[in-house]
Chain A
Amino acid sequence: MEKNSIAPFPLIVVGGSAGSLEVILSFLPLLRKDLKVAILIVLHRSSDPDPVLQSLLSSKTSIAVKEAEEKELLMKGVIYIAPADYHLLIEKDFTFSLDYSEKVNYSRPSIDVTFEIAAEVFKERTTGILLSGANTDGTEGLMAVKATGGTTVVQDPSTASVPYMPQYAVSHAPVDHVLKAADIAAFINSQ
């Protein structure tokens, strides 16, 4: 059995739905090149495999951007994208697992699923950032992040092009920081 050891570096999970891509594209160029964390981006998108997303995100930063692969060991200084149409899980040995089970909150990948498993494995070294969207996905996951001692961040709904998802989180989950879209890069750089 794999024992749960102390996370070797902090993990930031960014969850977004409608209107979140523009936020990600705006903060990526501002991230420091020597990231001390791993970043995991879980986006609601069409179920068709979409290699365009990876190249689009890569074009905005010199930090390595890649799709998370099953059994791959997480590394700090890398930005991972959850593959389309799979839930993204993390094992106790800090490797990725993929899961094609039922949609959660009408979504696969679901932000809740990855927030929850990140909280379980990276514990207090987990930060969940929830961006713009029209769904309630992410709120329960933020509660799990908080419950294991992690940090919860939500995009200021007034700066979100679709405020429903961040607003729902602010109203229902313990949120440490409500950040304007423009302040997210600075927050990540400070981690």
Chain B
Amino acid sequence: MELNIIGDDEVEILLRDLIEIYGYDFTDYSRASLKRRINRIVLIGKFPSFAELRYKLKFDPDFLKEFIEQITVNVTEMFRDPSFYKTLREEVLPRLGTYPLIRIWHAGCSTGEEVYSMAILLKEINLYHKCLIYATDINPTVLEKAMKGMFPLSQMRKYSENYLLSGGKKEFSGYYSANYEFAKFDDALREKMIFSTHNLVCDRSFNEFQLILCRNVLIYFDKNLQARVFSLFDDSLENLGYLALGTKETLRFSPLAARFRQIINAEKIWRKIA
């Protein structure tokens, strides 16, 4: 049985340390998931008590990186929710084709699987050459992985299925070469990608985009932070731009909902209309 060494009060103490020492503010993250993640760190790192964990976090900046990586969820996959990618391919991206330069922002991109999926879509509909894909995450370690474009070979069967279900017509294995237990994706897919750290809690808008994707990030935020992030996205979206969220996330209850229209009922993609 998973022992909860870290109780509610300990979580709050750690969050306060993170702000005071490192300037990372997680206080508007949903607590249930955060607490599970921290207890998982305790379990995996075999910390005998809260005091050891707190000490290491305070005085070991290398551990901080690891801690941030572990408390944020970095599980992702290529062409996750194939019907979502099918809608991007068939409905959304073709409408962006008329822009001379298409700017896309993956906010909270984690290790980049969905960014490479996007690059493949753009290649296949011949828009890649005039795109810029900004991929950001709070966490520098996952961005380093994303830049490498190397994903476990063991996942390729699943990703290939997802790709085909999303309307892909090519041989998926043509996009990577096998390198021991990793699939190394074509450098050509990375040419238009720009990776940078960005913290949705405190960093501002840095450009105007035609498409913003932020999938399975907002589920970890409380209502206030969700509202702030929605207005950040609103500020960062051109009129008629698109906002794409995760399968279980919605703009419906946001005060900004009136300025957006969901493009089709089944997918969590909204278009800014005012």
A interface residue count range (under 10 / 10 to 19 / 20 to 34 / 35 or more): 20 to 34
Query: 0/1 per residue, B146-181, Cβ < 8 Å to A?
Result: 000000000000000000000000000000000000
Q: A92-B8, A97-B219, A116-B2 given as contacts; is B31 within 8 A of A102 (CB)? A: no
Among A54-62, A83-91, A122-130, A181-189, the one that faces the other chain is: A83-91
List CB contacts (< 8 Å) of B9-58 with chain A. Answer: 12, 30-33, 36-37
Query: 0/1 per residue, A65-93, Cβ < 8 Å to B?
Result: 00001110000000000010110011110
Instruction: Give which listed residue, B1, B219, B246, contacts A144 with CB less than 8 A.
Output: B1
Complex CA distance for A113 and B40, rounded to whole angstroms = 12
Complex contact B1–A2 (CB within 8 A): no
A-B contact count (CB 8 A): 63
Chain A residues lying within 8 Å of B188, measured Cβ to Cβ, are none
Q: A4-B8, A99-B73, A100-B75 given as contacts; is B31 within 8 A of A92 (CB)? A: yes
Closest-CB distance, B265 to chain A (whole angstroms): 12
Complex contact B8–A1 (CB within 8 A): yes
Instruction: Give which listed residue, A90, A98, A140, contacts B219 with CB less than 8 A.
Output: A98
- Number of B residues, CB within 8 Å of A: 23
Complex contact B249–A89 (CB within 8 A): no
Complex contact A100–B31 (CB within 8 A): no
Chain B residues lying within 8 Å of A1, measured Cβ to Cβ, are 8, 12, 31
Chain B residues lying within 8 Å of A144, measured Cβ to Cβ, are 1-2
**Hey, which bits of chain B sit against chain A, CB under 8 A?**
1-2, 4, 8, 12, 30-33, 36-37, 73, 75, 81, 216, 219-220, 223, 246-249, 253
Of the A-B pairs whose beta carbons lie under 8 Å apart in the complex, a sample of 24, sorted by A's number, is A1-B8, A1-B12, A2-B31, A4-B8, A49-B247, A70-B248, A70-B249, A89-B32, A92-B32, A97-B32, A97-B220, A99-B36, A99-B219, A100-B75, A100-B219, A100-B246, A101-B36, A101-B73, A101-B75, A117-B32, A117-B36, A120-B4, A143-B1, A147-B1
